[in-house]
Each structure stands twice: as structure tokens, then as C-alpha cells.
Amino acid sequence: MTEPTEPTDADGGTRGPLGPPPGPGSTRKRALTAVLGDLRAVDGALYAAVAATSTPTLDRALRRLSHAADHSKVSLGIAAALALSGARARRAALVGVGAVAVASASTNLLGKRLVHRARPDRETARVTVDRYVPMPASASFPSGHTAAAVAFATAVGVVLPEAAVPLGALASAVGYSRVHTGVHYPGDVAAGAVLGIASAAAALAAAAPARVRQPNTFTAW
């Protein structure tokens, strides 16, 4: 006579009162999966809400801004103007361009290769055709346009504080335009903004002049 065995799950593990309790690692993994699922749901709902909101007055302006931000053309144009405006502005422009380079490399060489998130389905979300810009072939996460714009605004704003507010507003508009035109989820833009701030910090640190420590001198009395 064979002894009764405990039923197994799809992974071959036992379940029920005689099975081992789930380990802490398994519990944490399930909790993380649930949280990520909720965040994706919120992200998709925000994307759908933007798509469903009729804004004919803004559609053309945001489409043009999104297109103008391709390859950081807006930021590089501002940097060129700053380069003609004095020594401090030239330094701000140089650091800003460096931040854009770090953000672009980090986005394309790391972020998009590590997180292969598909682009949103604009047709299913019913994004109006008047908002359309070309849908990039690269992964959706994070937003490279946002990362570069935020990196430039942050770096330049630190060196040239009077430019911080207008450039910050411009970077925010660029980030929103990517959602408005249907090529990014809001979460992609948020991640791009965080990456942009980190890239600016790296560029500012690299551009900081080296501090030469002077030896302490003591006067004997």
C-alpha cells in the first residue's frame, strides 16, 4: 500500500498543509510583481487619459516641440546661443552639452537595452492623428528626449541660475510632449527625468575644477 502524497503545483513543489511554507524570497518576489503590475496599470491609465483628452489648440505646438527635440536640437541650439554670451554662459553651455552626451549614452547604451519595453499602441489608445510624430523603433523605457532635455536644463541651471526656470519649464514641456504625441508612457518620461538629473550631476562633477590642497602651515611662537 502506497503512502498518500501531497499534490504538487506547476513547478513541482508541494502545496497544502504538508507542503513547506513559502520562503521570504518568494514572498518578496510576489509582492514586487504585484507592485510593478499596479504601477503599469496606473501608467497605462495616465497614458489613456492624455490620449482621450481633446486639446486641439495644443496638439500642433506639442507635436512641433517633440519633433524639434529630436537629437537634442533645441538644447544644442540654446547651447550655441549661450556660447556667445560671456565666459560663465560658455561654461554653462559646455557643461550642458556634456550632460546631454552622458544622458544620451546612458539612455541608449544602458536603459533601453536593459528594459525592453514596447512602445505604446497609439491606435488602440485612439491618440488623434493630429498629434502624431514618427514612432521610434527603439525601446520605450526610458525617454531619451526627456533625459537629454532635463540633463541640459539641470546642468546649465546650476552654472547659470537665471536660466534654471525657463529651461526647466522647457524640459518639462518636452517630456510631456512625448506622452501627448503617443510615443511614450508617463513612466518612461519620469525615468528619463531621473536619468537626466543623474547625468547632469555626473557632467558637473567632471567639469568641476580640481581643488589643490595646500599644506597646513604652523607658525611657531
Give the per-residue pLDDT at 198: 98
What does the pLDDT read at residue 211?
43
pLDDT < 50: residue spans in the chain: 1, 6, 10-11, 13, 210-214, 217-221
Cα(187)–Cα(191) distance, integer angstroms: 6
Q: Please give the pLDDT value at position 8.
A: 52
Cα 90 to Cα 49, 82, 95: the distances in Å are 41, 6, 9
| Predicted confidence (pLDDT) per residue in 101-151, tens digit | 999 999 999 999 999 999 999 999 999 999 999 999 999 999 999 999 999
Which residue, 185, 184, 163, is CA-closest to 43? 185
pLDDT at 220: 37
Q: What gap in Å lies between CA 22 and CA 124, rounded to an integer? A: 39
Q: What's the confidence (pLDDT) of residue 26?
A: 81
Burial of 39 (0-12, 13-18, 19+ CB in 10 A): exposed
Question: If we measure between CA atoms, which residue out of 157, 156, 151, 148 comes closest to residue 73?
Answer: 148
pLDDT at 32: 83
What's the half-sphere exposure (Cβ side, CA atoms, 13 Å) at 156?
A: 30
C-alpha to C-alpha distance for 120 and 164, rounded to whole angstroms:
31
Distance CA 147, CA 199 (A): 8
pLDDT of residue 47: 97
Burial 42-66 (b: 16+ CB within 10 A, else e): ebeeebeebbeeeeeeebeebbebb
Phi-psi domain of 120 (left: phi exceeds 0; alpha: psi -120 through 50; beta: other): beta
Residue 215 CB burial class (10 angstroms; 0-12, 13-18, ≥19):
exposed
Q: What is the Cα–Cα distance from 44 to 96, expressed in whole angstroms?
A: 32
- C-beta neighbour count of 124 within 10 angstroms: 9
Percentage of the residues of the chain whose pLDDT score is greater than 70: 83
- The reported pTM is 0.82
| Cα atoms in the 13 Å half-sphere on the side-chain side of 123 | 1
